[in-house]
């Protein structure tokens, strides 16, 4: 089993690194963010753009780079992505679980490990979604 996990890890990283500059956060949200990785935002913001986006749509921190959330929004609007993915664009994504760093998000997706959130967070999500 560990061998298979390592293989999956290598395959996932091998695919995602060149395309999305994947940092292997282990809790992939690409599908809901216009196929743009929020971990490439210098502030690693997972819930939308900061207030510092420049007038030309470039990043507050790296002026030479387009803000990843501007890119994500453009792609969400223009790419033919599944509607359910687009609907999840404005979801409140939980804080990153640092324990998952370096693990395979594919495995974590299957085992639902990537959906585990701290008890306080989980309770609030339950309450806010039930009404």
Which position has the token pair 């990043």? 59
CA dihedral 8→19→49→98, nearest 10 degrees, is 20
Q: Which of these ranges, 2-10, 11-19, 46-54, 107-115, lies near other proteins under the rule CB under 8 A? A: 46-54
123 contacts other proteins (rule: CB under 8 A):
yes
Q: How far apart are the C-alpha atoms of 79 and 89, rounded to whole Å?
A: 13
Nearer to ligand SF4, 19 or 122 (CB): 19
Q: How far apart are the C-alpha atoms of 2 and 72, rounded to whole Å?
A: 35
Nearer to ligand SF4, 56 or 126 (CB): 56
Q: Which of these ranges, 26-34, 52-60, 85-93, 96-104, lies near ligand SF4 under the rule CB under 6 A? A: 52-60
Binding at 68: pick from ligand SF4, other proteins, none (beta carbon under 5-8 Å per type)? ligand SF4
Q: How far apart are the C-alpha atoms of 46 and 89, rounded to whole Å?
A: 10
Q: How far apart are the C-alpha atoms of 62 and 55, rounded to whole Å?
A: 13
39 contacts ligand SF4 (rule: CB under 6 A):
no
Q: How far apart are the C-alpha atoms of 129 and 131, rounded to whole Å?
A: 6
Q: Which two tokens stand for residue 94?
A: 């939980």
Nearer to ligand SF4, 28 or 41 (CB): 41
Residue 80: strand, helix, or coil: coil
Binding residues for other proteins, rule: CB under 8 A, are 42-55, 57, 60-61, 67, 69-70, 73-74, 90, 92-96, 118-121, 123-124, 127-128
Question: In the complex, which residues of this chain contact ligand SF4 (CB under 6 A)?
Answer: 41-43, 45, 49-50, 52-53, 59-61, 67-69
């Amino acid at each position: 089993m560990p061998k298979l996990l390592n293989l999956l890890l290598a395959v996932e990283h091998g695919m995602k690194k060149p395309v999305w500059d994947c940092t292997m956060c282990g809790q992939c949200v690409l599908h809901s963010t216009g196929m743009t990785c929020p971990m490439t935002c210098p502030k690693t913001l997972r819930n939308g753009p900061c207030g510092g986006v420049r007038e030309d749509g470039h990043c507050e921190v790296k002026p030479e780079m387009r803000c990843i959330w501007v890119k994500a929004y453009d792609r969400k609007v223009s790419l033919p992505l599944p509607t359910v993915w687009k609907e999840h664009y404005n979801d409140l994504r939980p804080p990153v679980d640092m324990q998952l760093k370096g693990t395979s998000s594919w495995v974590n997706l299957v085992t639902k490990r990537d959906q585990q959130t701290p008890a306080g967070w989980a309770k609030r999500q339950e309450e806010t979604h039930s009404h």
